[in-house]
Structure 1
Amino acid sequence: MSLPHTRRQRPSLRRRLLVFLVIPMAALLLLDALLTYGVALTYANRVHDRDLSDDAVTLAKMLGNDQLGSQLTPQARFLLEYDPDGRSYFSITSARRGLLGGNGQLPQLGYTPALGAVPTLYDTQLDKHSLRAASIHIAARHDPGDSLVITVAETLRDRHVQAREILLLATLMQTLLILSLLSLVWFGVSRGLRVLDPLTARLAARSHELTPIDGPDVPQEIQPLTRTIDALFGRLRSMLALHDRFIADAAHQLRTPLTGLSLHVDRALADPRPETVTDALAHIQRLTQRAARTSSQLLALTRAQAAPLDNVERGPLDLGRMIPEAVAQRIHEAIRAGVDLGYEGLRQPLYIDGDAASVLDLLDNLIDNAMRYAGRGSTVTVNLQAHADGGAVLSVEDNGPGVPPELLPRLRERFFRAADSGEEGSGLGLAIVQRIAERHHAEVIYRLGEEHGLSVEVRFPPAISPATGPG
């Protein structure tokens, strides 16, 4: 039994913005609560310390106005025992007679305060309870030789209760303020995102157009996205144009051999004599080979017209090893064609940045073009030299009939063939060379040979990638 497919929730820009706002605000609210509690506790301590000092002073005045015996007056005792929870403590100690009243266990200050000074505040402990105490030292009224130390103390509970009440009120107000602010942010984000509506409408109104979508109404924050989309549209337009050009070129180049095939098939069917059929089959074979070569050339041209090589395709290539090996593989073919094919140039490493398959296609097309148009009995020489700037110069020269000087600039055009060349071809070989060279940021130079023939020179820029030999 298969489980139902759970649809993943799409990311929301509005929800993402709110999350990025809520989390920092919650952290700030927590930090503010801690700071508020600290401030409230400090304020409560100051108020209670002042009240505690006032109680000690008031008790000292009451004792100074009454005749002190072994018992406190009812008014003084009422003042000290007002707390029904029993969290207030006091003690009255005589310098001569000791404890006169209060809690005997209440810890005293480690020293006697100055006589007649303001109350001294200090922290102490009683039965594991933290206390805050105030002590004052006064002279006994009816006994000039005696003095009294009056201590009033209380627990810290009321201070913390008051600080928590202040914190609760402040937190409630700040929470309401943050919620109101988030509501305003939600409203603002919702309204602000409406600026994308014209862009959305413009995209929805298009059918098959790949024109740029960036415009003056696109916000600055969205421009990186629209520019990326425009770049993608540009690459798609180039690919579609390349596709259309390939179809047009294929239709243009394959129409002639296909028409010839049809004519020779009809001729063989109309005249079944062996010599007619043999001649028709020979023409059919030649036209088939021409169509196959044209198709291969068209595919090679399409690959060569792709975008420039990126960092993934580029790599260090040792032309000093690769070019002689590639020429050696064409020797047997050149012998069958009656062409003297040779190599002259460097044998030591010479590196460029590029794609090995593309560079070999370039060399093959140069050799094919030279062998085809130079003809039997000709000489084709492949040369490789290092350039003064650190790059490489690859050249292929033949001693064939060559081309008129005024036609040299047109050799890089697609489907161009000299009118008096006498050889069948697609006119794509040198166009492929030109496109591959452009992808490698290389320069192609066409010139006439020293005596006659054609020389094609390709100048590659110096290598940037680390030059490493074969592993």
Structure 2
Amino acid sequence: MRTSEPRLQRKLRAWLLGPLLILLMLDAMAAYWTSQRLANLAYDRALHEIAREIVLHVRRDGARLRLDLSQPAADILLTDAQDRLFYRVDAGDGTVLGGDTALPLGRRVAPGGEPLFSQETVHDQPVRMIVARMRVDNAPGAPLVQVQVAETLNKRNRLALEMVANVVLPQLLLIVMATALVWFGVSRGLEPLQRLRRAVSDRSHLDLSPIDTHDVPGEVRPLVDEVNELMARLGRTFDFQNRFVADAAHQLKTPVSGLKAQIELALRENDPERVRHSLAQLYISADRLSRLVRQLLSLARNEPGALETVQLQPLDLNAFALEVSMDWVPNAIKRNIDLGFEGVEQPLTIDADRDRLREMINNLIDNAIRYSHEGGRVTVRTGHTPEGQCKLAISDDGRSIPVAERARIFERFHRLLGTQEDGSGLGLAIVSEIARLHGASITLEEDVDGVGNTFTVVFRPAAGAGPVRDNPVSESADQPL
């Protein structure tokens, strides 16, 4: 369920206003405690004075003491418009001289000691009570009495609440004003994020253009930059997918149509020999279609933005190129091609993806054998460049590619005019993509003897593998693989 506002806004308001409210409550409790203390200080003095007045009404009757407090005097002394007062007077021997016996007997106070104040309950009402020891007169050796006076808490509580109100209400007003300002400030401060949210939510799912970073807060700018970078990568991936689908549809349309036509022709034939001939043609067409599909999938696998990751590991280019070249010997023999290899004694260690590198060498050798004339020569060479980098060169003696065409030879589906060989124009495009994945460069030049073409791929040496001087070991046209 969606909320009415972003969570960040709620959190900011909670973290800004929550502590203020907590401080207000703590301050109110502290103010109430202080107000109660001040109210008690004020009214405790009056309670002490009432206790003194009551003791003035204690009379000595010989050795005995009695309380002579008339009702009118008691009314004047103990009547209060807001509270009820209770008193009790005890002689030194514990005899009750007068007052309310329901009043709890307070602790004994030492003669001349400070009076004691405490919170008690009398007749089920909370009261403030004083306990004091006083002499009945100023005569030397005058007897002591203990007087207790209790008063309900109405005016004390009222005074405390008034003081709390006087302290807390202005603070509460400030809190309300601060709440309004914080609410407004957070809303205005997060308005750029709201605009950013609306800008993203209002977009079409096809719109992968960068988000405008104008007026984006600095704290959010890195996130927006990462989102823009992500959308750029998604855009490249979608472009790759759309291009692949369009290329596949375009390239598969013709061979599939040819297969259908040949199948229809075979279905109309009654002569077994002609049916066998049609089936043979179907096999050749299906083989071409299978090769085209493999090349399309290989191109998609090595395309920028493909989901597959490249696993580069140290590999000896010299030994690996020889191994792959050996696999092509049967094909070279069928075409009467002299396939040779010229390597070096020292290992040429590079960082490479073994499967992709094999695919690249296969495409280069296949291209060289396919376009060389019958009885021609194809040579695979490995070695170092003058700069100390590792190189792989594959030469053929086919028709030289014109200089004007060399810039386009690595484009997908580009084929030279006038060639009679079947091909999709994808082999060299795949080679170019695999070289790019390896951080290598590929060039096309005429062969050293001026006949044919030489494709050269230059790799960076693996980390820790320094350049060495080449010591060639040839297995060339005179010594074919």
Q: TM-score, normalised by structure 1?
A: 0.62
Q: Counterparts of 2:277 and 2:117 in 1: how far apart (Å)?
A: 125
Query: Kindly tell me: are residues 130 and 330 of structure 1, through their superposed partners in 2, closer, same or farther at Cα, counting changes over 3 Å?
Result: farther
Q: Give the Cα separation in 2 of the matches to 1:357 and 1:199.
A: 45
Rounded to whole Å, the distance in 2 between the matches of 1:104 and 1:208 is: 84
State the Cα distance separating 1:224 from its structure 2 match: 7.7
Matched position secondary structure for 1:42 = helix
Q: Using a 3 Å threshold, how does the CA distance of structure 1 residues 24 and 316 change in structure 2: closer, same or farther?
A: same
User: Matched residue of 1:143: which SS?
Assistant: coil
- Contact 2:83–2:152 (CA<8 Å) still a contact in 1? no
Q: 1:165 to 1:54 in 2, by over 3 A?
A: closer
Partner of 1:395: 392
Q: Distance in 2 between matches of 1:395 and 1:149?
A: 121
Deviates more, 1:239-248 or 1:224-233: 224-233
Whether the 8 Å contact between 2:24 and 2:172 is mirrored in structure 1 is no
- Structure 2 CA distance for aligned equivalents of residues 386 and 62 of structure 1: 121
Determine the structure 2 residue equivalent to 1:336.
Answer: 331
> Aligned to 1:13, what secondary structure does the other structure show?
coil
Q: Deviations over 1:62-82 (max 9, x none)?
A: 645986652153446974697
C-alpha distance in 2, partners of 1:37/1:199? 43
CA contact (8 A) 2:116 2:130 kept: yes
Distance 1:446 1:421 in 2: 18
Contact between 1:55 and 1:152, CA under 8 Å: does it hold in 2?
no
Q: Which residue of 2 aligns with 1:214?
A: 211
Structure 2 counterpart of 1:335, one-letter code: P
Q: Distance in 1 between matches of 2:40 and 2:243?
A: 92
Among 134, 141, 144, which residue is 2:140 paired with?
144
Q: Output the amino acid matched with 2:33.
A: L
1:365-380 → structure 2 map (5 Å cutoff): 365-374=363-372, 378-380=377-379
SS of equivalent residue, structure 1 residue 38: helix
Q: How far apart are the structure 1 equivalents of 2:421 and 2:39?
A: 111
- State the distance in 2 between where 1:388 and 1:113 align: 110
Q: Which residue matches 1:444? A: 442
In the other structure, the counterpart of 1:4 is none
**1:467 corresponds to:** none
The answer on whether the counterparts of 1:135 and 1:149 sit within 8 Å (CA) in structure 2 is: no
For the residue of structure 2 that corresponds to 1:457, the secondary structure is strand
1:44 matched residue in structure 2: 36
Identity of aligned residues (%): 22
Contact 2:378/2:395, CA 8 A, preserved across alignment? yes
Alignment partner, residue 459 of structure 1: 459
By how many angstroms is 1:56 displaced? Answer: 0.8
Find the partner of 2:296 among 285, 295, 298: 298
Paired residue type of 1:214: I
SS of equivalent residue, structure 1 residue 107 = coil
Please, what is the CA RMSD of the aligned residues? 6.2
**Number of residue equivalences:** 441
- Cα offset for 1:14? 5.3
How far residue 113 of structure 1 moved from its aligned partner, in angstroms, is 4.9
Seen in structure 2, the aligned counterparts of structure 1 residues 163 and 398 have a Cα distance that, compared at 3 Å, is farther
Aligned equivalents of 2:448, 2:14: Cα separation in 1: 80
Return the offset for 1:105. 2.5
Q: CA deviation at 1:249?
A: 3.8
Say if 1:394 and 1:458, in contact at 8 Å, map to a contact too: yes
Residues 235-285 of structure 1: CA deviation (Å, up to 9, x unaligned) = 554445434534554566567767887998999999999999988877665
CA distance in structure 2 between the aligned counterparts of 1:165 and 1:402, rounded to whole angstroms:
108
In the TM superposition, residue 307 of structure 1 has moved relative to its aligned partner by 1.1
Task: Report 1:255-266 matches (<5 A).
Answer: none
Distance 2:431 2:145 in 1: 110
Residues 447 and 78 (structure 1), Cα distance of their counterparts in 2 relative to 1, 3 Å cut? farther
Specify every segment of 5 or more residues in structure 1 that has no aligned partner in the other structure, as ranges.
Answer: 1-8, 465-471
Q: Using a 3 Å threshold, how does the CA distance of structure 1 residues 93 and 149 change in structure 2: closer, same or farther?
A: same
Deviation at 1:419, TM superposition (A): 5.7
Q: Distance in 1 between matches of 2:324 and 2:410?
A: 26
Paired position in structure 2 for 1:3 = none
Q: Distance in 1 between matches of 2:319 and 2:87?
A: 107
Q: Equivalents in 2 of 1:377, 1:314: separation in Å?
A: 36
Which residue in 2 is equivalent to 1:381? 380
Distance 2:284 2:11 in 1: 72
Residues 91 and 304 (structure 1), Cα distance of their counterparts in 2 relative to 1, 3 Å cut: farther
Shift of 1:436: 2.9
Q: Secondary structure at the match of 2:66?
A: coil
Letter in 2 for 1:368: D
Shift in alpha-carbon separation, 1:83–1:405, aligned structure 2, 3 A:
same
Q: CA shift at 1:454, angstroms?
A: 1.4
In the alignment, residue 423 of structure 2 is paired with which amino acid?
Answer: G
SS in 1 for 2:67: coil
Deviations 1:10-52, CA, capped at 9 Å, x for gaps: 4543588457746985676466435423321221122113211
